[in-house]
């Protein structure tokens, strides 16, 4: 029953209401925004920086190989430096920590893309974000992950809310693909000439991407 109710929720409407309440109170809260990559962050930052003072947290131990990690980190650094935002946007770069990812998905290596392995990866990154938000006293934490049409927004928010209870730090509801968020991220990626990767990040998503391309080439 809980899962059904989760799917029925409109996280964008919940975010709209929260923003409206903060605006009425004249508040500009602080937000720790976990970022998976520059393209996904582009719209999220454009949108959220109107209402929050944001610190971007680039923490993605799933990204493989190390050269890819460095490339994506450089791109998000460049995006922030090239953009103008209404409120402050800063960046914290986390450690790569690939051993953390492999430990967290051990036994799930053969799971389908978008399934249990990915959910474990969401939680790994969101947990680190919630821990840091608690430690540094942020008003909210959330992630850019929900902007992707391939990511499960209900599961992302479910994990975020559970971690919010655990760390006593508010989770910002999100489904950033709404309001044409994903479309806008593509437009902003073109404007900034951002590198758009063709796989989510981990070695297993590379495998799945390669398999999908092979199937497509045979059709």
Under 8 Å between Cβ of 33 and 39: no
Average pLDDT over residues 199-213: 77
Query: Domain residue spans in the chain?
Result: 10-218
Distance CA 196, CA 72 (A): 9
CATH architecture, domain 10-218: 3-Layer(aba) Sandwich (3.40)
Asked whether residue 219 carries a pLDDT value surpassing 50, the answer given is no
- Span 160-170, mean pLDDT? 98
Residue 167 corresponds to which tokens in the numbers above? Answer: 């760390």
Q: Which of 101, 108, 115 has the alpha carbon at shortest distance from 36?
A: 101
In 16-169 the beta strands, taken as DSSP E runs, fall at: 30-35, 53-58, 89-93, 140-143
Partner residues linked to 143 by β-bridges: 34
**33's tokens:** 């925004």
Task: State pLDDT tens for residues 135-163.
Answer: 999 999 999 999 999 999 999 999 999 99
pLDDT digits (tens, 9 = 90+) for 93-116: 999 999 999 999 999 999 999 999
pLDDT, one tens digit per residue, over 43-65 is 999 999 999 999 999 999 999 99
Rg (alpha carbons) of the chain, rounded to whole number = 17
Query: What pTM did the predictor assign?
Result: 0.93
More confident residue, 217 or 134: 134
Which residues lie below 8 Å from residue 162, measured CB to CB, with a gap of 6+?
Answer: none
Name 73's Cβ contacts closer than 8 Å, sequence gap at least 6: 58, 93
């Amino acid at each position: 029953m809980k899962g059904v109710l989760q799917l029925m929720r409109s996280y964008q409407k919940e975010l709209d209401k929260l923003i409206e309440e903060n605006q009425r109170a004249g508040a500009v809260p602080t937000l720790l925004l976990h970022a998976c990559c520059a393209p996904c962050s582009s719209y999220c930052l454009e949108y959220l920086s109107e209402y929050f003072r944001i610190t971007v947290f680039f923490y993605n131990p799933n990204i493989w190989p190390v050269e890819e990690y460095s490339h994506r980190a450089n791109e998000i650094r460049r995006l922030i430096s090239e953009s103008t935002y209404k409120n402050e946007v800063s960046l914290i770069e986390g450690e790569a920590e690939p051993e953390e990812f492999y430990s967290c998905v051990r036994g799930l290596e053969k799971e389908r893309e978008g399934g249990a392995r990915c959910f474990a990866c969401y939680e790994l990154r969101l947990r680190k974000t919630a821990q840091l938000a608690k430690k540094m006293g942020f008003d909210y934490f959330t992630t850019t992950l929900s902007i992707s049409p391939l990511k499960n927004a209900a599961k992302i928010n479910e994990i975020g809310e559970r971690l919010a209870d655990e760390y006593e730090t508010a989770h910002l509801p999100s489904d950033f693909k709404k309001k044409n968020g994903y479309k806008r991220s593509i437009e902003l990626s073109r404007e900034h000439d951002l590198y758009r990767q063709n796989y989510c990040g981990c070695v297993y998503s590379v495998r799945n991407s390669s398999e999908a391309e092979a199937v497509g080439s045979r059709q």
